[in-house]
């Protein structure tokens, strides 16, 4: 049983369930989509907002994004399903940008502002007043301290000066958790995501207390493809362990996916195994030998976008090894040339990776664990009650990729076994703030000879925007699964496999 991380994730789940039901069962899909806001808010009493009309307006936009469409304009009338005919297909569908702020849901959080609260005790020492270098803090006639926003330079010196913790620093949660500074205000004070800076990690969506930031989904188009009888193969990311319940084994999940309509299921850990052997070979031959200064792992698309945009001089150090998602997709295309491929994982950014034109992804759809849980519910499928399906054999190395440090550890273990003379130096970072610090060290020559693993999300893939369980639990489940895997390291010659 899925336990929701927050009320926002519960709301998202309900939207996905209703969209999936409409896609599978409806004879008049557009009409049933229009009805979803009324299913989510069926009475005249609002649950989360001050008005039932606002709740339904927000729900309408959530439905549009869940179908893959963009938000409706705020300054002109439009039906929920306006433009629906373009998205009602059984092929990959995407209207950029991926991450969007629902204007009616944004609470216009104040950003980077210091404010005196009711905890002020009207003390006579006036530590906050004396701490301010620009005289922005003054005492009102009633004795309480007050901060002049026009004078305040946001230095924060007043905050620790108050012995009663009477001054708070207001920060917009989405902006605070955006590691690339892509979030600012629009002209009305609502959050705005700059698509030129955004790397689609989705941490803004995870941390918005109002659920105002949403990414677009492809579940509607995927369900249409299933209904059309398309041959579709699923590839499941290593971080899937534990995401659908403590008692749901990988074999049970594979069975549930086949009940849903997939003809075959692969572990992305198999592609990770291939990648680990390839990166070990490259590190031994190029980095350990001194030919290249360092090697950056290529698995996380948000980390790679950060490196390419902010540290272009380091771009030559990015591994040319295909990501496990793409490696596995190419294995699938080799085994099933006519099949479509759906990647199922924790990551919003993989939706963009599947769209990129610089490297052929061979991935036709990308959905998250969160979205898959809703599709299971819509079809009445309980993975825990399913039988076991035999899983393709991946090693502990590939199965550990989903947790921070797992990629580097897999490559290190391959190096120790197959290139014992190569000296191995490793650094890894999780979260884009820490990734930037690591890249800065590399830029200034402080990471010569290193394998550098970057993960945009805290904890690695287990902290992605599309997971069903907390980061700590996800990490624990992955490590346990890897430890229980008999074969620890993939064979050395695996990197020689030719992929289309």
Phi then psi dihedrals of residue 496, to 5 deg: -85, -5
Sequence-separated (6 or more) residues with CB below 8 Å from residue 496:
none
pTM: 0.93
Distance of CA 182 to CAs 128, 161, 185, 202, 212, Å? Answer: 32, 31, 10, 12, 16
CA 216 – CA 98 distance, rounded (Å) = 6
146-183 pLDDT, tens digit per residue, is 999 999 999 999 999 999 999 999 999 999 999 999 99
Q: How many CB atoms lie within 10 A of CB 149?
A: 12
- Least confident range from 223-237, 352-366, 443-457, 467-481: namely 352-366
254-288 core/surface letters (b: 16 or more CB in 10 A; e: else)? bbbbebbbbebbbbbbbbbbbbbbbbbbbbbeebb
* Strands (DSSP E) found in 173-288: 183-185, 191-193, 213-215, 232-236, 264-267
pLDDT digits (tens, 9 = 90+) for 283-341: 999 999 999 999 999 999 999 999 999 999 999 999 999 999 999 999 999 999 999 99
Q: Which secondary-structure segment (H or E) carries 329?
A: helix 324-335
Q: Which domains does the chain have, with CATH numbers?
A: 1-88 (no CATH), 113-170 (3.30.70.20), 231-496 (no CATH)
pLDDT in tens, 341-380: 999 999 999 999 999 877 788 999 999 999 999 999 999 9
Q: Are 265 and 234 in contact (CB under 8 A)?
A: yes
**What pLDDT is attached to residue 495?**
60
Kindly list the distances between the CA atom of residue 274 and the CA atoms of 2, 239, 271, 340, 398, in Å, as whole numbers in the listed order: 32, 17, 5, 21, 8
Lowest mean pLDDT among 34-38, 46-50, 174-178: 46-50
- Smallest Cα–Cα separation from 313: which of 451, 443, 210, 424? 443
Please give the Cα distance from 290 to 285 (Å, whole number). 9
Any residues with CB less than 8 A from the CB of 154 and at least 6 apart, and which?
Answer: 112, 113, 114
8 A C-beta contact, residue 150 and residue 163 = no
């Amino acid at each position: 049983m899925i336990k929701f991380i927050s009320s926002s994730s519960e709301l998202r789940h309900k939207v996905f369930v209703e969209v999936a039901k409409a896609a599978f069962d409806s004879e008049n899909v557009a009409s049933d989509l229009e009805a979803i806001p009324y299913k989510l808010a069926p009475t005249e009493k609002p649950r989360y907002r001050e008005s039932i009309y606002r709740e339904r307006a927000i729900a309408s936009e959530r439905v549009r994004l869940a179908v893959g469409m963009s938000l409706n304009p705020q300054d002109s009338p439009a039906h929920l399903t306006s433009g629906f005919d373009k998205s009602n297909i059984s092929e990959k569908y995407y209207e950029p940008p991926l991450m969007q702020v629902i204007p009616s849901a944004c609470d216009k959080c104040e950003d980077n502002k210091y404010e005196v609260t009711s905890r002020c005790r009207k003390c006579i020492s006036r530590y906050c007043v004396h701490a301010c270098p620009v005289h922005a803090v003054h005492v009102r006639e009633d004795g309480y301290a007050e901060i002049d926003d026009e004078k305040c330079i946001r230095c924060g010196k007043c905050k620790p000066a108050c012995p009663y913790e009477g001054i708070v620093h207001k920060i917009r949660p989405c902006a605070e958790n955006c590691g690339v500074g892509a979030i600012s205000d629009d002209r009305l004070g609502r959050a705005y995501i700059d698509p030129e800076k955004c790397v689609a990690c989705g941490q803004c969506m995870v941390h918005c207390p109002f659920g105002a930031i949403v990414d677009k989904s492809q579940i509607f188009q995927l369900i249409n493809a299933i209904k059309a009888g398309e041959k579709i193969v699923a590839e499941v990311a290593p971080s899937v362990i534990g995401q659908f319940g403590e008692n749901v084994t990988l074999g049970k999940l594979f069975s549930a996916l086949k009940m849903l309509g997939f003809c075959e299921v692969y572990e992305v850990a198999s592609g990770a195994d291939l990648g680990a052997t390839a990166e070990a070979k490259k590190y031994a031959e190029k980095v350990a030998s001194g030919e290249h200064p360092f090697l950056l792992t290529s698995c996380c698309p948000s980390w790679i976008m950060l490196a390419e945009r902010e540290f272009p001089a380091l771009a030559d150090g990015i591994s040319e090894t295909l990501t496990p998602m793409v490696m596995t997709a190419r294995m699938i295309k080799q085994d099933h040339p006519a099949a479509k491929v759906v990647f199922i994982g924790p990551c919003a950014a993989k939706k963009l990776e599947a769209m990129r034109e610089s490297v052929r992804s061979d991935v036709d759809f990308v959905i998250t664990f969160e979205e898959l849980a809703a599709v299971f519910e819509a079809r009445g499928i309980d993975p825990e009650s399913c039988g076991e399906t035999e899983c393709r054999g991946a090693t502990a190395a590939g199965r550990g990729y989903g947790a921070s440090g797992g990629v580097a550890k897999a490559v290190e273990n391959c190096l120790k076994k197959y290139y014992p003379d190569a000296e191995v130096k490793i650094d890894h970072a999780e979260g884009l703030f820490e990734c930037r610090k690591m890249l800065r060290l590399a830029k200034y020559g402080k990471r010569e000879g290193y394998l550098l693993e970057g993960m945009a999300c805290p904890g690695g893939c287990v902290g992605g925007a599309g997971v069903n369980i907390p980061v700590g639990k996800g990490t624990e489940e992955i490590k346990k699964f890897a430890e229980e895997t008999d074969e620890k390291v993939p064979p050395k010659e695996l990197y020689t496999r030719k992929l289309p």
